[in-house]
Structure 1
Amino acid sequence: MSTIDIRHAHPLTDERARDAIAEVARKLQERFDVSARWEGDNLHFARPGVDGVIELLPGAVRVKAELGFLLSAMKGTVESEIRRVLSEKLG
């Protein structure tokens, strides 16, 4: 298993950040068949080979994910894509 742990600061209000993360979750569901559910300010996502959470923090989000064996080999690519999407959606 391989772990991804990214913290990304943003200038958005909590409500706008939550909306942006919800949009990211919709795209993950469409593109990668990821299941997602909110628990308070945490968006949990999962599918075979990945299990993670996006935490909404004051002025930031934190993405933590555990990658299974197959995705571990692509950790750098997955991490880069997460960073790109966070920058695009949250600034």
Structure 2
Amino acid sequence: MADISIKRAHQLPLEQARNAAQQIADRMVNEFDMSTQWQGDVLAFKRSGVSGTLALRENEAQVDVNLDFLFKAFSSTLEEKIARNMDKFFGTTA
């Protein structure tokens, strides 16, 4: 089970949703030194202590994040930041 799981509904065509997800990934790479890799319509991301996925569906985007023990103390702060980015790029709560 993910430590953080956030869904957002969107009305974007899949290609635009993928572009939005890539923008989020680019920010994660720059801000948190994460590696990212697309696997179909799922963007996997990873760094020491944090891993997860951003899955795109026709009308929904879902991010699931797994945190190591040391990062669990920051889970609420990370969740807020992820939610803001998901709102910015995808829209409202699914």
Instruction: With the length of structure 1 as denominator, give the TM-score of the two structures.
Output: 0.94
Alpha-carbon distance in 2 for matches of 1:13, 1:65 = 24
Structure 2 runs not aligned, ≥5 long: none
> Hey, what does 1:37 align to over in structure 2?
37
> Hey, what does 1:62 align to over in structure 2?
62
> Hey, what does 1:77 align to over in structure 2?
77
**Identity among equivalent pairs (%):** 37
Alpha-carbon distance in 2 for matches of 1:83, 1:10 = 14
Alpha-carbon distance in 1 for matches of 2:44, 2:81 = 18
Alpha-carbon distance in 2 for matches of 1:70, 1:8 = 27
> Hey, what does 2:26 align to over in structure 1?
26
Instruction: With the length of structure 2 as denominator, give the TM-score of the two structures.
Output: 0.91
Runs of 4+ in 1 over 4 A off after TM superposition: none
Structure 1 runs not aligned, ≥5 long: none
Contact 2:54 2:62 in 1 (8 A): yes
